[in-house]
Chain A
């Protein structure tokens, strides 16, 4: 196998490995699974076409997230932002298994997330869920690290307001919540 073939194979493998995370970011940005998957598809095509511009050994995930984000905003500028359907597809998708823990909670959370300004939403998702450091998130969004930090902080505050969280005990009636939180924090 030639060096080029090995590089191609590595590229495809890393691309595949990043897809679930990339797709979750797309769902976070668009608020809808169908739109998110179209966005991911466009991102894959762009990434594939620009393989040579990717520097092997650098962070492919950050590279893909940057492509997807740029694609999202450029499409949004072209089409104008469509009315978000927070109660639509996403909820349907997640209400299929109502017996599972926390699904209803997740819908409420999703709706609250949708209400954030775009810049705050992407900041808190990149740092708080997608696993990027502040510096990486700043590079993806093309802004200063301090800007990301303040957006994350404002997003947190806004989510707390939207979800009416004033303390852990107020957050959800599910007694399982407390146990899970306790486990998560080893307290």
Chain B
């Protein structure tokens, strides 16, 4: 791949990653978008609270129990 090609590819990737920054979007728009993502990511980074892992375990177990009851 020529240097020009790889540069072109890099540019395409950047555009894809920043797809919500449309051409003509002003900087304040970009600042808003960034704040929104910072906020959203901060929540995502908290991970999955244990209560949900426990809940899924219980749901799965209940399903298994129901199935084995069916077999009997």
Please indicate whether A and B come from the same complex rather than being unrelated chains: yes
Q: Which residues of A contact B (CB under 8 A)?
A: 8, 12, 15-16, 19-21, 23-24, 27-28, 37, 40-41, 44-45, 48, 94, 102, 105-106, 109-110, 113, 124-125, 127-130, 156, 159-160, 163, 165-168, 171, 180-181, 184-186
**Are A171 and B39 touching (Cβ within 8 A)?**
no
**Are A125 and B36 touching (Cβ within 8 A)?**
yes
**Are A94 and B36 touching (Cβ within 8 A)?**
no
Per the bound structure, the CA–CA distance linking A166 and B27 in Å amounts to 9
From B53, which residue of chain A is reached at the shortest CB distance?
A: A16
From B17, which residue of chain A is reached at the shortest CB distance?
A: A184
Per the bound structure, the CA–CA distance linking A151 and B36 in Å amounts to 15
List residues of chain A with CB within 8 A of the CB of B42. 94, 106
**Are B18 and A128 touching (Cβ within 8 A)?**
no
Per the bound structure, the CA–CA distance linking A9 and B51 in Å amounts to 19
Q: Does B5 have its Cβ within 8 Å of any Cβ on chain A?
A: no
B interface majority secondary structure: helix
* A-B CB contacts (within 8 Å), total count: 105
Q: How far is the CB of B51 from chain A (nearest CB, A)?
A: 7
A interface majority secondary structure: helix
From A26, which residue of chain B is reached at the shortest CB distance?
A: B43
Q: How far is the CB of B6 from chain A (nearest CB, A)?
A: 15
Per the bound structure, the CA–CA distance linking A127 and B40 in Å amounts to 12
List residues of chain B with CB within 8 A of the CB of A168. 27-28, 30-31
List residues of chain B with CB within 8 A of the CB of A24. 40-41, 43-44
From A40, which residue of chain B is reached at the shortest CB distance?
A: B52
Q: Which residues of B contact A (CB under 8 A)?
A: 14, 18, 20-21, 27-49, 51-53, 55-56, 59-60, 63
**Are A128 and B39 touching (Cβ within 8 A)?**
no
**Are A37 and B49 touching (Cβ within 8 A)?**
yes
**Are B52 and A28 touching (Cβ within 8 A)?**
no
Given known A159-B32, A181-B30, A184-B34, contact A113–B39 (CB-CB < 8 A): yes
Contact of A110 (CB < 8 Å), options: B28, B39, B47, B56:
B39
**Are A185 and B18 touching (Cβ within 8 A)?**
yes
List residues of chain B with CB within 8 A of the CB of A184. 18, 30, 34
Q: How far is the CB of B60 from chain A (nearest CB, A)?
A: 7
List residues of chain A with CB within 8 A of the CB of B30. 168, 181, 184-185
Given known A21-B44, A127-B20, contact A109–B52 (CB-CB < 8 A): no
Per the bound structure, the CA–CA distance linking A66 and B27 in Å amounts to 32
